Amino acid sequence: MHEKNKYPDTPLIPALEDNREKAARKAAEAAAGVEVIEAVNDVRRPLRERPVAPGQLYDAVKRFFGNAASAAALESPELGTKFGKESTRWLRHTFGSHAVAKGMALETARNFLGHASLTTTSIYSTAEIARQYREVDEFLADSI
């Protein structure tokens, strides 16, 4: 049994080195006889020129959520606790919902979210359709 990959291969932006690219780079370095040690790789290029690894981004976002939850807890302990339980999955869902609501094609959203099937991404259009029905109901109620 092999361990499930903690970080999926879905790059968030083209500048990110995804797991496949990292594996290919390590294989090429190993084939060239270069000892692959991450600490050495980190020194090769200045920080601003290195791609952000998905794990680094994930850790930064989790730290942000923790800091935001602590700040929110000062004003509302309940809100702080709720916000502290949020995750990067929540950010993905928020991105998908807002993107589709603003008119992004489902195919584009699917690619950015890393879904294999358009059916999975269509969940976001269902939420958009529900919002549209609420808007029509409000319009009709105000018009009568």
Asked if the model's pLDDT at residue 143 lies above 90, the reply is no
Whether the per-residue pLDDT at 43 is higher than 50: the answer is: no
Domain ranges of the chain: 19-49, 52-86, 87-144
Q: Full-prediction pTM beyond 0.75?
A: no
3 pLDDT above the threshold of 80? no
What pLDDT, on the 0 to 100 scale, is given for residue 140?
93
Long-range contacts of 6-9, Cβ-Cβ distance < 8 Å, separation of 24 or more = 6/55, 7/54, 7/55, 7/58, 8/54, 8/114, 9/114
Residue among 82, 79, 113 nearest 96 (CA): 113
pLDDT confidence bin for 119, thresholds 50/70/90: very high
CA gap 128, 44 in Å, rounded: 46
> In this predicted structure, what is the pLDDT of residue 56?
84
At residue 141 the predicted structure's pLDDT band, cuts being 50, 70 and 90, is: very high
